[in-house]
Amino acid sequence: MLKADYSELELLVGREIGPSGWVEVSQNRIDTYADAVSDHNWIHVDRERAKAAFGGTIAHGLLVLSLAPPMAQEMLHIGSVAADLNYGFEKVRFVRVVKGGDRVRLWLKVLKVSARGSGKLLRMEYRLELEEGLQTAIVADWAFLLFPETVALAEQAFREQAQ
């Protein structure tokens, strides 16, 4: 795990972080996701038909994309942060299918750190890799909005003073 302080984020620009540990995209996970989002397309849930057509079921791209936050938490810890908000993904590309039972891991690369209001916007390259052949499955730019502990303390002091 890489540890960095909020005040040192700019020093991480250009640095590759990872990989995370492997995470299995099990059929149970795919079925649960299908139920949660009401997407029961046969390529995701019909094991027999998908096996005949593709060699197995195909995980929802958005399911696989959503596996990143817990993987990132095992790879990077930023200290002196009061709040970190997932600001979103850009340039998402699903370049290879992830099938039921495949294992994936995450690589990150810090692209840019910029001031945003009372916080900082951290932009990272997101690359999800398949264990089979170590091929990239998903690439994206991922952004986080981070607020330092000092902002939280100042806001708390202001609220207390206003009472």
Residues in the chain where the model's pLDDT stays below 50:
none
Q: Is 161 exposed, middle or buried (0-12, 13-18, 19+ CB in 10 A)?
A: exposed
C-alpha distances (whole Å) from 28 to each of 24, 32, 90, 102 are: 10, 6, 28, 12
pLDDT attached to residue 53: 95
Q: What is the pTM of this model?
A: 0.87
pLDDT attached to residue 161: 60
Per DSSP, the three-state class of 117 is coil
**Rounded Cα–Cα distance for residues 11 and 57 (Å):** 42
**Rounded Cα–Cα distance for residues 100 and 43 (Å):** 10
Structural domains in the chain, sorted by start? 14-24+59-162 (3.10.129.10)
Percent of residues in the chain assigned helix, strand, coil, to nearest 5: 35, 40, 20
